[in-house]
Every structure is written in structure tokens, then in C-alpha cells.
Structure 1
């Protein structure tokens, strides 16, 4: 099976399937098709399937012209019908892995997708899970589901591995195409073949590890590393405020050291699909071994309280002007979880807005990337279409929660009564009497 698949990869005689056409799946499907492999995208959402088949892009990291071209050429199509799995030789599962209401892993999307794939899995197929999850998922969950559902045996009839997604929305340098890839599979043959498949599609290095569990843990380490370091600077930011020291200046000074330090900056909390969620996967799994990940849990608590801390700081700013949060008009700038993207998954700005409203503030927002969003209560919030001088001046407080580069911060500073800048977006503004920074 190994030699046959290696030959098919070299000859581009492989049909690729990608399950889940979101922030991870669609860019991967596009790159597979651009590399010359006929690709079928699978998704349970009919709207996404219809948009892909019409060549209409909805993911920021995908080039519109690329999608349109590969769809027109027949290299990429999408469907909700999983029976087409029988036509593919390589399947990447790229579905969400959120947390449930108890902050525990919700792997229902992975489980249901795997069951759907298993029904139509044929001999000689490579299956790869890309969804971030806890160590052991591929071998303990995916493998038995595929074997029981298909009647095939892993390692003999099909290959199974894990290759964690590395998607950073808005990153201008690293995209799916040129980001190094880690591959861990069940057995050396599976690792070799799956890694070779990625090498024929991607420009980044493909690094092979000894097992899916190593690859799964590696992905958790990447995001836990960032979670903990952001928690550190957030905690120090709170202390620095009490000491009347600028944490932003402290970090900028520290990063002049050419070794042993990487700069992380404070903010209103953590956003995105990975960094706020993935460490909880490891903490949950660790309890199975009677182990508590105290450092991870501590950083999680610090980061989780940042939205409320920011609102407390907003209240202190308003108090300087003899006003309270209750009844105040607050203009929030930016609901995306980071600058210059249209992604608001787990955005701390949404929690800041919720807390402000719970405390009686009248909140409006502007985000040039996100004209509307659905909050945690399922309500649709619509933003301002533009930032008029009168609107800025009428607000008792302007709160910056995402440092979008296409906002004129000098214009904001000149017209706002008071500003709380949680992202240091106004660092280049000289007149700072009405600006307070996190």
C-alpha cells in the first residue's frame, strides 16, 4: 500500500477530501487543488458548500481569484454528501473543537465527522485529523470509529495520522502554503506517506514525529506557551498600573535583549479559536492521570479576568470626569480578536461589551472588518458604518479593544472626551491628556 500511494502522490493521481470548510479547511482545500490534486470539500453547512461551488470566498486567508479559478477548472468542488468519501484517497478532518459550558472538550464535531467518513472509507485511503485536540484522540477515538464503521484495519487497509493545523488569520507572512507542518501517524509507513502528501502541496518543511500523540501534544504546547506568557504580561500589567509604570514600555525595553526573551503584550483578554481554548484540553486530559496543570490553570484565570479588569479601568476613567458606567455612552473600537481580521471567535471585546452593558452603559461599536456579530446570547449586534466626529464627541468614553491599522487614531484622540486604550493603539499620539492605557 505504501509504494502504491507514494506513486499516486508523485503522479498527482490522488483525490483529496477536506472535511470542514472553515478557517482551516478551506485554505487547505485551496492549496491541495492549486497543487494539482482534485479536491472535494465536505461540510454540513449548505451555505458554505454553495458559496464554494459558486467560487465565492468567505475566508480572509484565501485569495478570491485562486478560489474562483480552481472551482471553474473543476479542481475544487464542495458537497454535503459524504458518500463521495468513497472517491477520495486522502481525507483531512478540519472541524471545530470548542469547549462546552463546563470548560471541557467538545469533540462531537470530530466524532460525527469521523463516523460519516467511516461509512464510505475505502482501502488505501489516508486519513488525517487536523483539528486541535487532546493527546490520544487519534488513536483512542478516531481509530476505533474508523475501524468499526468501515470494517477496515488501520495500518493494513488505511493509514491514519494527526497533523495539527497552524493557521494565524491575518498573518501577512505565514499562510497555509508556507507554514511548516508536523506529522505524526500510526506506524512508520503511514507517517512517511502522509508526510509525503503534504510535501507535494506545501512549501514549508514537513517535520515527522513518532506518533499522533506527540503531534497532538506539540500543538497544545504551541498554544499553551502563548497562553501562559500572555497571562504573565497581563498580570504584570495590573501590577504596573498600581506602580504607575507602563508595561508597554517595559516590554519594549526587555525585547532589546537579543536572546532569551520573546515579547508578549497585555490586552483585554484572549481571543481566537486556539489560544484561549487549547490549554483546557490538556488540563482536562491531565486529570485522567491525577495531575493538575497548575501553571496553565493560573494563566487561564488571569486571562479570563482581563475583560472585567478592563471594564473596572473604564469605570475609573469615567470617575475622573465625574461619571459612572451606569448611564454612560461608550464607543468600543474593534470587536475582532486581533487587529486587521474579520474573526471575532472568543474575542475578549465581546465580553467587555457584555460587562459594560450589564453595568448599565449604553454601548455602540465600530469595526471596519466586522459590520455585525452574534454575541454570546445569540443576539445580532450591528456596528456603526463610519466614525463621525459627532458620534466620537458624544461618547463619554472610547474604548479600544482591537488595534486595527485602518482607524485614524489621531482623529479619535482629537475628538474624544476620554479614551481607554487596551491595545496601546495610540502609542504614537503626542497629546495624551484624554488617553489612559492598559
Structure 2
């Protein structure tokens, strides 16, 4: 029997390593069809999952129902699996270099339990070549098995979009690849069990890795262009969103907007590509320029706030700033690589008191990650109110709600331009 047939007959187990934003939805989707082992090194996370609680607050308890899944943090339990999906994070370090430690550690764990005939599929975002050049040697080392001969490897980049209830695993075309024709077909058939709209068979693992990288690099560059335009138009005293609304009437104008680019995808993935390019002797000028613009937007916004309040006769050393939202994007609890932190820290450098609130974010996690205290609610009156993240509760607010927190000359900063033409009684500024 093929690995696909064994899984379908429940004579083999599928294991998912890493149960975060990416791994958990995959594990639960497969668990409705197959026998699944959900593995994560975080024992506290495993305890929550056993109680049908998603630590990321993306999936409701009902998502765990009718699932044939065993959650565990014990490596020995992975010995029961024959098909492994690795979905651990691939962040960057403080020098914007790829941090492969979680991925290589996961590869070591899988290598220790790998058996002849097993399959390993990586979903973590990496630079082209990483799967075969970095991960496979570790699998071989710890398993004492031979790549392609004894075990097969594939790559299928994740396309999970946190907070998006429309573009889910089941209805986004899945790119799949394998180390040979046989593995490609087996991996494709396995994923077709849960991806309703089908899969795209890439010609090689490197092609699949590269496809994932450029998806987010393309978005990064387009947003960088919008951010640069917003800086230029601000100097011209033109509202960027009014310009985009006018330009957007052309049929082929791409509808991107300026904003903060954080998170674990768009703000990170391009650095994996630039790292590999530099290793090959090429400096990717356009991609790095886009990254520099987007990474600098938090500091730019903070400096504009300081300039604006000085113009209004407010002493920055005495100014109080309310920041609504600290997660990396709207309607998610994920604070990883959020660029709102750049605004807060830059304002503090100028001596302003910055009070941040966010009903979606975890206070302890935020403090642990950034050393910054979240307020439970606004306290008193503020010289500046910043809508930094467009959570649905914030978008539902009216100007009268904001005025309750405002002083006589309060500056209203609307990063995404969502309150344009709605703010009449405060000084208004947006990107």
C-alpha cells in the first residue's frame, strides 16, 4: 500500500510538528479524515489544546469536534507516525538574518523517530534550497537513513492568513512539491484530502520554496511604494488616500495602501530571500530598499506626531499619547514583530508618555516580548490619539467616543485612513 492509502485506511498516522497559527488548522483539518498526532514542545499549549482551546484564539472549540487527534509534547509519541508535517516558525534575529533554530530543532526531533518508508513535508517559510541543504542532512544524521532511498521529503508552503475567515486552508490552492515524482504524487493526494480547491504541483522543492518567498516579497514591495508615496504626498500636503481613491478608478491600478508591515510573514520572509541572494554574491537592491522603507515607518509616524504637537504649542515632555491596538494586524491576537512597538519606543525616546491598549492582545505576553506595559483601558485625557490597528471594535467608535479621551487640541492619528472625513473636531493626520 502507498503512504496515501495507509493514511486513508488509518493504518498509518500523520503527525504535525508545531501547533501554532499554521500547524493547528492543518492538524485539525486532517484529523477529520485521518489519524493525527499533534506535537508541540510547549506543554502548556498542549494542555490548552486538549481542552479544545486555541492559544492563538483563531479557532473556536467547535473546530476540535469530530477530530481523530492526539495532542502531545512527548517526542516518543511521534514514533507512531509515518507522515510528518513540520510547521514551526522561521523568524529573523535582531540583525534581520534568518533564525533557523526552531526549524533545525524540529528536523532533529523528526530525525530521531524517522523510519524507513516515512515522509516528511516542511511548511515553514525558508529560502530556496533550505529544505534539501539544511533540513535533509539533519534528518539523515539522526535517523541513519538515506534521503530519497529510505525516506521521502516534500515542501508545501503554508498560506494561512491569521484573522481571515474567508481564505482558509480548505479554499486556498496549496502548492506541493516532492523529492521525486512518486513523492510529489503521494504528497499531492494527501493534501487534496483537505484542500477543497485543489493543489498545484511544483516542479521541484526549490520552486515551491521560492514561490512562497516571492508571494510576500511582492506584497512587501507594493506596500513600500505606498508608504514612500505617503511620505512624498505628506510633504505636498496631499492626502494619500484621496490620491489612491482617484488612481484606483483605473481598471489595472493595484489597490495597495500604506501602513505598518509587521507580523511573521511580509515583514520577515523577504529577508530570507535577500540572505540567500547575498550568499550567492548578489545584492537585491529593490527588495532591501522596500524593507528599509517599511521597517522605518514606525519611527516616521512617531516623528510626525512630535512635529505636529510642537506646531500646536504642546511640550512633548508633557504630552500624553493613547495608542489603540498593538497587534501586528487587525482582528488577531498575534503580537510577533508588530511595528506598533516602534511607534511606542520612538515616542518614549522623545519623552512622551505613551499609553497603549488592545483588547485582542495578551498583557503578559506583550510585556514579556517587548518590556512594555499594556493599559487595560484609556486613563484620563490625551494630547494624541492614535488608531494604530483597525480592530473591529475600534472601527465601530464614533468621534464622540474619541472626544471623551481628548483634550482641547488633541491630534488624531489615523494610520490606515479609516476615519477620514469622520473626524471634524480634532486635528487629523494619516499616512
Structure 1 and Structure 2 fold alike (TM over 0.5): yes
1:43-93 CA distances to partner (integer Å, 9 max, x unpaired)?
Answer: 1111111111222222333232122x24xx6x1222121122221121111
SS at match of 2:108: helix
- Partners of 2:428 and 2:401 lie apart in 1 by 10
2:375 match: 383
- Partners of 1:291 and 1:375 lie apart in 2 by 39
Q: Does 1:404 align with 2:422?
A: no
Q: Does 1:370 align with 2:370?
A: no
1:339 match: 330
1:57 match: 54
Q: Does 1:186 align with 2:179?
A: yes
Q: Does 1:291 align with 2:282?
A: yes
Compared CA separation, residues 410 and 25, structure 1 to 2 (3 A):
same
SS at match of 2:283: coil
Match of 2:189 among 186, 189, 196: 196
Judge conservation of contact 1:400–1:425 (CA < 8 Å) in 2.
Answer: no
Q: Does 1:103 align with 2:106?
A: no
> TM-score, normalization: structure 2?
0.94
Q: Does 1:395 align with 2:382?
A: yes
Match of 2:43 among 43, 46, 49: 46
Structural RMSD (CA): 1.8
Judge conservation of contact 1:409–1:426 (CA < 8 Å) in 2.
Answer: no
1:402-425 CA distances to partner (integer Å, 9 max, x unpaired)?
Answer: 112212142344343221111212
1:341-395 CA distances to partner (integer Å, 9 max, x unpaired)?
Answer: 111211111111111112211111222212524258642522224x5xx73xx10
SS at match of 1:330: strand
Q: Does 1:207 align with 2:200?
A: yes
2:28 match: 30
Deviation at residue 339 of structure 1 after TM alignment: 1.4
Judge conservation of contact 1:164–1:219 (CA < 8 Å) in 2.
Answer: yes
Unaligned runs of 5+ in 1: none
- Partners of 1:46 and 1:378 lie apart in 2 by 23
1:137 match: 130
- Partners of 1:377 and 1:205 lie apart in 2 by 38
SS at match of 2:261: coil
SS at match of 1:119: helix
1:84-141 CA distances to partner (integer Å, 9 max, x unpaired)?
Answer: 2221121111111111122111101111111111111112221111000111011111
2:63 match: 66
Judge conservation of contact 2:335–2:366 (CA < 8 Å) in 1.
Answer: no
2:77 match: 84
- Partners of 1:240 and 1:157 lie apart in 2 by 60
SS at match of 1:172: coil
- Partners of 1:19 and 1:249 lie apart in 2 by 46
> TM-score, normalization: structure 1?
0.92
1:265 match: 257
Deviation at residue 153 of structure 1 after TM alignment: 2.0
